[in-house]
Amino acid sequence: MRIANYGERYKRAAKIFIMLGCSQEGCAFPAHSVSPTNIFAPASTPAHAIYGLSLFVLAVTGAIFTIVFSLLIYAIVRFRRKTQEGIEPPQVYGSNQVELAWTVIPIIVVVALFMATARVIADTEKVVPPHNAVTVIAIGHQFWWEYRYPESRIVTANELHVPVSNSLQPTPTFITLLSADTDHSFWVPRLAGKTDLIPNHQNQMWIDPREAGIFLGQCAQYCGTQHAKMLLRVYVQTKNDFDLWVENQKRAAPQSGIAAEGQRLFESTACVNCHTVRGTPAQGSFGPDLTHLMSRDTIAAGVAANTPENLRNWIRNPDLIKPGSLMPAMQLSDRELDAVTAYLETLR
């Protein structure tokens, strides 16, 4: 896609500045090892475009800082009081030429920054989805993420799976952002800048991750008590793996009969008011879809690893793991808890 070229162009311009200036942004520095959410370790075109622009902006502001900082230091050192009190220095009231100079130069700098920025805005926001793009609808909830894949008719939660893309045959993912309650924001720094999820206001963003792996992020717009624990996990997979995952998600819940007791409990208590398990009477939509709960690494929007013990504790009292979460404690007895957990463990 065109966008990569501009990223490269700015990176080249920026490198020249950096050689002249003082930035230490190592071009070969393994930025992603510093942090899995480092904005300077882009792995997708929108993030790359921002990265290129950011280097340019940092170089320009770095240069301005160096110049003015040096002048300030010089002034403090050179113009300390040396005469005794009462002898005043020459009283200078102003200078039109100087004022003109330091008006015109900042205007030029500002125009350059503006033009660079406008270009990146256009390139990122005015992109039309190609026909092979994967489309996802992300719906923000307090305090979890719902993902729907309309083409495959899958509904899942909290862990977003997308195919890896490459520059020869790009397969980007276009995400439509909606909200079921308050404002949220989807921020996975290595993949793209953040975009908000606002009720009654549809937004769109896109990513085309260039490497497979897990990319982390979290909600970036204060949405209530557990805003801090609305974590994001994006699983970028090879085409084969992604297709396999889609196939698995399409299936209805396996009816194994092993955990019949747990299933009976699940379907006869309030669980079904909030949760969906496709192929069963549970069709609630207030909470995450649990049809393939066991295909996920974490529960409660990334808060805890998806182990039987964590799952059991979560069901027993969500407030202990995520205080303020909207799932109520179901007041189940130990035996009931064991049964329900066993049932959920069958939802692969």
Partner 1 sequence: MEGEDRSMAMNSMPWPTTAVERPVFVDRLHDWITTVDHKQIGLLYIAYALMFLIIAGSEAIIIRLQLIRPHNSFVSPQVFNRLFTMHGTTMIFFVVMPMLFGFGNYLIPLMVGARDMAFPRLNAFSFWVTAFGGLLLYFSLLGGNGLYGAGNAPDVGWFAYAPLTSQTFSSGHSTDFWTLSILISGFGSIGTAINILATILCMRCPGMSLAKMPLFAWLYLVTAGLVILAISPLTAAQIMLLVDRYLGGHFFDTQAGGSAVIWMHFFWIFGHPEVYILVLPAFAFASEIIPVFSRKPIFGYSVMVAATVAIGFISMSVWAHHMFTVGMGPGANTFFVLSTMAIAVPTGIKIFNWLATMWGGQIEFRTPMLFSIGFLFQFLIAGLTGIMLGCAPFNWQLGNSYFVVAHFHYVIVGGILFTTFAATYYWYPKITGRMYNETLGRLHFWLFVIGFHLTFDFMHIPGLLGMPRRIYTYEPGRGWDHWNVIVSVGAFVQAAAIVVLLINFLWSYWRGRCSGWDPWDAWTLEWSVPSPPPSYNFSSIPAVRSRRPLWDLKHPDNPDWEYEGSR
Nearest one of 42, 58, 62, 38 to 50, comparing CA atoms: 42
Task: Indicate the DSSP class of residue 318.
Answer: H
Q: Is residue 23 packed enough to be buried (19+ CB in 10 Å), middle (13-18) or exposed (0-12)?
A: middle
Minimum CB separation of residue 251 from partner 1 in Å reads 32
Determine, following the binding rule CB under 8 A, whether residue 92 of this chain makes contact with partner 1. Answer: yes
Number of residues that bind partner 1 (CB under 8 A): 94
Alpha carbons within 13 angstroms on the beta-carbon side of residue 277 total 23
Determine, following the binding rule CB under 8 A, whether residue 267 of this chain makes contact with partner 1. Answer: no
Q: Of the candidates 227, 296, 312, 316, which one interacts with partner 1 according to CB under 8 A?
A: 227
Determine, following the binding rule CB under 8 A, whether residue 121 of this chain makes contact with partner 1. Answer: yes
- Cα 320 from Cα 170, distance rounded (Å): 44
Pick out residues in 142-171 that bind partner 1 (CB under 8 A): 142
Minimum CB separation of residue 278 from partner 1 in Å reads 27
Which H or E element spans position 117?
helix 96-125
Window contacting partner 1 (CB under 8 A); options: 130-138, 202-210, 246-254, 258-266: 202-210
Calculate the alpha carbon distances from 66 to 22, 72, 74 in Å. 8, 10, 12
Determine, following the binding rule CB under 8 A, whether residue 213 of this chain makes contact with partner 1. Answer: no
Q: Of the candidates 5, 8, 27, 117, which one interacts with partner 1 according to CB under 8 A?
A: 117
Nearer to partner 1, 53 or 332 (CB): 53
Nearer to partner 1, 20 or 105 (CB): 105
Determine, following the binding rule CB under 8 A, whether residue 88 of this chain makes contact with partner 1. Answer: yes
Pick out residues in 30-69 that bind partner 1 (CB under 8 A): 34-40, 47, 49-50, 53-54, 57-58, 61, 64-65, 68-69
Determine, following the binding rule CB under 8 A, whether residue 240 of this chain makes contact with partner 1. Answer: no
- Cα 242 from Cα 258, distance rounded (Å): 29
Pick out residues in 283-312 that bind partner 1 (CB under 8 A): none
Dihedral sign of CA atoms 305, 230, 240, 293 in order: positive
Pick out residues in 307-326 that bind partner 1 (CB under 8 A): 323-324
Q: Of the candidates 2, 19, 30, 94, which one interacts with partner 1 according to CB under 8 A?
A: 94
Apex CA 138: angle with CA 134 and CA 139, to 5°? 160
| Residue 110 dihedral angles phi and psi, to the nearest 5° | -65, -40
Minimum CB separation of residue 348 from partner 1 in Å reads 26
329 and 316 Cβ atoms separated by less than 8 Å: yes
Minimum CB separation of residue 290 from partner 1 in Å reads 24
Nearer to partner 1, 2 or 334 (CB): 2
- Cα 119 from Cα 228, distance rounded (Å): 33
